[in-house]
Amino acid sequence: MSGILVVGSVALDSVRTTAGKSVEALGGSATYFALAASYFADVALVGVVGEDFPRAHRHTLERRGVDLSGLKVAKGKTFRWSGRYGKDASIAKTLATDLNVFKNFKPVLSEAQRRMPVVFLANIDPDLQASVLAQMQSPALVACDTMNYWIDSKPAAIKKLLCKVDVFFSNDQEAMRLTGAPNALQAAEALGALGPAVIVIKKGEHGALMKVGSKFFVFPAYPLARIKDPTGAGDTFAGGFLGSLASMGGPHNDVGRLKRAMAYGTTMASFNVEDFSTRNIEALERELIEERFHDFAERMTVPRVEGLFKGRRAVSA
């Protein structure tokens, strides 16, 4: 009932942060999304890797039940990314991007994939995102993400895609860049005007903002004093958000469900940044997820007390 199709990158990441490093570890937008969503829903991944893609990485996804029938193995090398984070974990410095087999990625969906009810178009070329969407048979929920590279090179294609999208994920810098808005809230307004009913703007350590209709919901990040590797946090957030939303059933535009999805996205992203690569989200316990979800929700709950002002002497104009 809650199958999610994700189309995006599967990569080998080499990352250095103040907490250490990882070398040719499992990465990619589709990978992070699929692992996070797998705790809530059935996930099918469409992507491409090279002949050098380690069996161990494939098993990591399979152990989470991710359907890899759409993960093509092409002649050549797997997409590689290497980056470095300084003291400010919100800024990734890209050291190298080798697209390799990803350069010629042209996803063609199977019959079963075309009929899946929920699709997440991770940050690939917006023209490819549109071509995937065109292959889908009336999905119930369409979500996508993008990145600065496409915002700078193909802004018109992104905007055209957005009118066919229900939930748009973006980070705050990208959202402001795409819209020219001076802050995340105005960027969300401008993005909403392009079509998506739900805009989710991710702000890293500052949490995430959701616009539903004309109303904003702002959630902080789960408070972690130490993080190891922020790589993939945005896609993990999206996976927790869409996975939980899909699993809730019912109308996807219900504000209560969307707020729960925000909290699950926040929860999954917080697990992700606690270790390198996908280490911390590839073998989570459901109980741990629920526990942190409830802890997060509880911390933000402001106890209601009637009549705070009661008994105060009148001080008025």
Residues that bind a copy of itself (CB under 8 A): 2, 18, 38-42, 63-65, 87-89, 182-183, 185-186, 189, 203, 205-207, 209, 215-221, 223-226, 244, 247-248, 256, 259-260, 262-263, 283, 286, 290, 294, 296-297, 299-305, 308-309, 312-313, 315, 317
Give the nearest distance from C-beta 50 to a copy of itself in angstroms. Answer: 26
Tell me how far CA of residue 294 lies from CA of 179, 264, 283, 301, in angstroms. Answer: 35, 10, 20, 10
Which distant-in-sequence residues (6+ apart) come within 8 Å of 149 by Cβ? Answer: none
Alpha carbon distance 33, 168 (integer Å): 14
Could you give the 3-state DSSP secondary structure of residue 268? helix
Find out whether 132 and 108 touch, Cβ atoms under 8 Å.
no
Exposure letters 228-258 (e unless 16+ CB within 10 A, then b): bbbbbbbbbbbbbbbbbbbbbeeebeeeebb
Give the nearest distance from C-beta 264 to a copy of itself in angstroms. Answer: 8
Give the nearest distance from C-beta 200 to a copy of itself in angstroms. Answer: 14
Q: Would you say 94 or 301 has its CB closer to a copy of itself? A: 301
Q: Would you say 197 or 218 has its CB closer to a copy of itself? A: 218
Spatial CA neighbour of 97 closest among 17, 11, 7, 20? 11
Spatial CA neighbour of 4 closest among 39, 43, 46, 58? 43
| Residue 168 token pair | 């748009």
Q: Would you say 11 or 41 has its CB closer to a copy of itself? A: 41
Q: Would you say 51 or 62 has its CB closer to a copy of itself? A: 62
Give the nearest distance from C-beta 198 to a copy of itself in angstroms. Answer: 15
Give the nearest distance from C-beta 135 to a copy of itself in angstroms. Answer: 26
Q: Would you say 106 or 313 has its CB closer to a copy of itself? A: 313
Q: Would you say 51 or 290 has its CB closer to a copy of itself? A: 290
Residue type at 41 in one-letter notation: A
Spatial CA neighbour of 36 closest among 305, 310, 278, 294? 278
Give the nearest distance from C-beta 106 to a copy of itself in angstroms. Answer: 29
Give the nearest distance from C-beta 94 to a copy of itself in angstroms. Answer: 21
For residue 149, the number of C-alpha atoms closer than 13 Å in the C-beta half-sphere is 7
Q: Would you say 62 or 152 has its CB closer to a copy of itself? A: 62
Give the nearest distance from C-beta 201 to a copy of itself in angstroms. Answer: 11
DSSP conformation letters of 105-158 = ------HHHHT-SEEEE-SS-HHHHHHHHHHSSS-SEEEE---HHHHHH-HHHH
Give the nearest distance from C-beta 177 to a copy of itself in angstroms. Answer: 13
Q: Would you say 61 or 136 has its CB closer to a copy of itself? A: 61
Beta bridge partners of 144: 121, 168
Q: Would you say 68 or 144 has its CB closer to a copy of itself? A: 68
